Amino acid sequence: MPTLDLAPASVADYRRRAERRLPRFLFDYLDGGAYAEVTLGRNVRDFERLALLQRILRDVSARTTTTQLFGAEATLPLALSPVGLSGMMARRGEASARKVAGAFGIPYCLSTLSVCSVEETAAAGSGPLWFQLYMIRDRGACADLIRRAREAGVSVLVLTVDLPVVGTRYRDVRNTMSGGGNAWTRLRKGPISYALHPGWAFEVGLNGGPHVLGNIAPYLGSGATFDDFSGWASASIDPSITWDDLDWIRQQWSGPLIIKGILCPEDAVEAAERGADGIVVSNHGGRQLDGVASSIAMLPHIAEKVSGRMTLLVDGGVRSGQDILKALALGADAAMMGRPWVYALAGAGETGLLNLLKAMHGEFSVSMALTGVTRTADITRDVLDFRTTA
């Protein structure tokens, strides 16, 4: 059980620090999932159930963990997933994540619903910057957002397609993050919660502004505060989007295009046939349709259909370097992770995030050695033991 008086070593350690530091409504927004959070739990448990197969007496003295993702070398087959409101979890959180990811050598994907704008985030660091896009009803605003991303130096556009409507997250309902609430709940969400978390209140609440949704502020003006994010998402994200809208996206964006939110093999095939450069096998971190399969459970079925035709990524439940190894073993080219990097940044700042990435790199490298492989390209299903479960 992680404790706060010891140095953090794992995602669980950083999660505990984030829980203590953040106001309850923000931690629950970050940590929670849809409805009963069945899928949220499956995402993690199904990784845990995959057993590795230990191999011995192989020369593993020289190992490399690097890989190529859309023309750029990555230190580790990992990218940081887009997480909305990250700039409320840590001071200018998106800019900090971009800085750390670039220094470590992996891509960072910025959310449409970020506090820091794409321009601010791009200027904060180096290395590959991806941008996650929701299809907005206002096509003029959507086209302008793509233009801004391109001009800021974004190299990959990640179109999220599993949020035509916003899933219900009971923790957000209870904390009024989804709107509503009486005067008492609003008071608990605001002044009282701030007073109970003075470190966060000083660093983020008082000195981390402006607290607006930086990417969409030009289209909403003063109404683009983090309190309005749920209402904006419900009113502005287009539920009528279809496969044919990819043609419109391609007119606005000529670079690599990833479709994020695919959980069905048939949809993966359609994405390949429509010319997507990559897909993310994802259930939105268990935050949308509760009760669906975990991402890692669906990954091999999807890889069977589209492996070799596009770059294949997976997110949801990645909590360690060993999970990255398991994802590659089941057909992914790389993994993505969301909550863990925000836990680390919220709980221990940029140093915490860098240390977490270093720890995951070590876990990945050691696990490669102990399963008998020395290159990421050599990771196959052979590193897993299907005769048992962990």
Give the CATH H-level superfamily of domain 11-383.
Aldolase class I (3.20.20.70)
Tell me the torsion sign for CA atoms 212, 16, 172, 110: positive
- Amino acid letter for position 359: A
DSSP 257: E
The Cβ of residue 316 has, within 10 Å, a number of other Cβ atoms equal to: 31
Cis peptide, bond prior to residue 82, ω within 30 of zero = no
pLDDT of residue 267: 98
Cβ contacts of 214 within 8 Å, gap of 6 or more: 87, 114, 115, 116, 117, 118, 120
pLDDT tens digits along 203-257 = 998 899 898 999 999 988 655 666 656 677 778 899 999 999 999 999 999 999 9
- Tokens encoding 30: 């970050």
Given this model, what pLDDT does residue 232 score?
Answer: 73
**Residue ranges of domains in the chain:** 11-383
Q: Which of 211, 284, 301, 361 is catalytic?
A: 284
Q: Which of 15-24, 132-141, 226-235, 362-371 is predicted with the least confidence, judged by mean pLDDT? A: 226-235
Helix (H) or strand (E) holding 258: strand 257-262
Give the model confidence (pLDDT) of 259-305 as tens digits: 999 999 999 999 999 999 999 999 999 999 999 999 999 999 999 99
pLDDT of residue 184: 45
Length of the chain: 390
Q: What is the pLDDT of residue 183?
A: 45
Which residue, 331, 280, 298, 289, is CA-closest to 168? 289
Section 160-184 average pLDDT:
79
The pLDDT assigned to 380 comes to: 98
Single-letter amino acid, residue 365: S
**Which of the four pLDDT bands, split at 50, 70 and 90, describes residue 1?**
low
CA-CA distance, 313 to 323, in Å (whole number)?
Answer: 13
pTM for the structure as a whole: 0.94
- 189 pLDDT band, cuts 50/70/90, is low
C-alpha distances in angstroms, 177 versus 30, 136, 229, 286? 11, 21, 9, 17
Active site residue 284: yes
Q: Quick one: pLDDT at residue 8?
A: 95
Residue 40's SS3 state is helix
Q: Is the pLDDT of residue 370 over 70?
A: yes
Average pLDDT, the chain: 93
Percent of the chain with pLDDT over 90: 83
Q: Read off the tokens for 369.
A: 């050695």
Q: So what's the pLDDT on residue 233?
A: 77
Q: Could you report the per-residue pLDDT of 41-92, keeping only the tens digit for each? A: 999 999 999 999 999 999 999 999 999 999 999 999 999 999 999 999 999 9
Supply 97's token pair: 């994540």
Looking up tokens 């904060």 gives 124
Given a cut of 90, whether residue 150 has pLDDT beyond it is yes
Interval 329-348 mean pLDDT: 98
The dihedral region occupied by 261, where left means phi > 0, alpha psi between -120 and 50, and beta the remainder, is left
